[in-house]
Amino acid sequence: MSGSDPLFPGFVYGGLIASLIDCHSTGSAAAAAYKAAGRELGTQPELRFVTASLHVDYLRPTPLDAELEIRGRIEEIKGRKVIVTSTLSAQGQVCARGRVVAVQVPEAMKPPPGSPA
Amino acid sequence: MSGSDPLFPGFVYGGLIASLIDCHSTGSAAAAAYKAAGRELGTQPELRFVTASLHVDYLRPTPLDAELEIRGRIEEIKGRKVIVTSTLSAQGQVCARGRVVAVQVPEAMKPPPGSPA
């Protein structure tokens, strides 16, 4: 997958932008949860988050040949739920805004230790 | 890209679900716009849509080994804007719901005829 939009060569495909915002937000949610618990990142038991909902506003086409920067902000931590808002920028311009509701994964859903994930 | 979630093997990655809903919705928007104009699909000048906003609610994990079905519904057509809601199902269960605001591409943004897109 090149990341190019199939209809608009030279611009980043919107589904990839959604994927980047999704990944960045669940990672940010986990980091915030570790911090809120006063724990070091990555310590056991691991805190993992899945996406309950994803919203992306596409403000302008995102150029394919530029470095992309995503900045997330923790809007709210409430129990197992973390809300993360973010911007995706290229060349200093915000191209997309995201809002993700991330939920901490129950222990039962986690893959067993040592699994290839 | 296998489509598997990097954290949860056996389930479809949420970013891919967002991509599927995005593609299906902009295509549905175009089809609705042709129909609303009383035109045959694919006739010139071509009606193309981009995503202004994408919202996905993830209701349950989507199994990787099942056939996925997306069904879209045109919620509203208003000028150049079409709102499409959709469900993504596997094995008869709705796994995700989408809502996309699609906007018809201005002539100036279209790639020239014969371009590889």
Q: Report pLDDT digits (tens) over B4-18.
A: 776 677 899 999 999
Local confidence band at A112 (pLDDT 50, 70, 90 cut-offs): low
Half-sphere exposure of B103 (CA within 13 A, CB side): 13
- How far apart, in whole angstroms, are the C-alpha atoms of residue A57 and residue A96? 6
Pick the range with the lowest mean pLDDT from A86-90, A98-102, B2-6.
B2-6
From A13-17, A21-25, A43-47, B3-7, the region with the lowest mean pLDDT:
B3-7
Q: How many CB pairs under 8 A join A and B?
A: 95
CATH number, position A27: 3.10.129.10
Look at residue A113 and tell me if it is in a domain: no
Domain that holds residue B93: 4-108
Of residues A92 and A117, which shows the higher confidence score?
Answer: A92
Residue B60 banded pLDDT, cuts 50, 70, 90 = very high
Interface test with B, best of A22, A59, A85 (most B CBs within 10 A): A22
pLDDT of residue B39: 96
- B112 or B79, which is more confident? B79
Alpha-helical segments (H) within chain B:
14-36
Tell whether A9 is covered by a domain: yes
Task: Count Cβ atoms below 10 Å from residue B2 Cβ, excluding itself.
Answer: 10
**Count of domains for chain B:** 1
Q: What rounded mean pLDDT belongs to chain A?
A: 90
pLDDT tens, B39-51? 999 899 999 999 9
Distance, CA of B112 to chain centre: 24
Spell out the residues 6+ positions from residue A82 whose beta carbon is closer than 8 angstroms to its own. Answer: A28, A29, A32, A33, A49, A74, A76, A101, A102, A103, A104
Question: What span, in angstroms and rounded, lies between the C-alpha atoms of B2 and A37?
Answer: 35
Residue A117 counted as domain residue = no
Token pair for residue B1? 């890209």
Q: Is residue A53 part of a domain?
A: yes
Query: Are residues A115 and B48, on separate chains, in Cβ contact within 8 Å?
Result: no
B23 touches chain A (CB under 8 A): yes
Supply angle C-alpha B82, B86, B92, rounded to 5: 165
Q: Which long-range contacts (CB under 8 A, 24 or more apart) does A67-75 make?
A: A68/A12, A68/A20, A70/A20, A70/A21, A70/A24, A72/A24, A72/A25, A72/A28, A74/A28, A74/A29, A74/A32, A75/A99
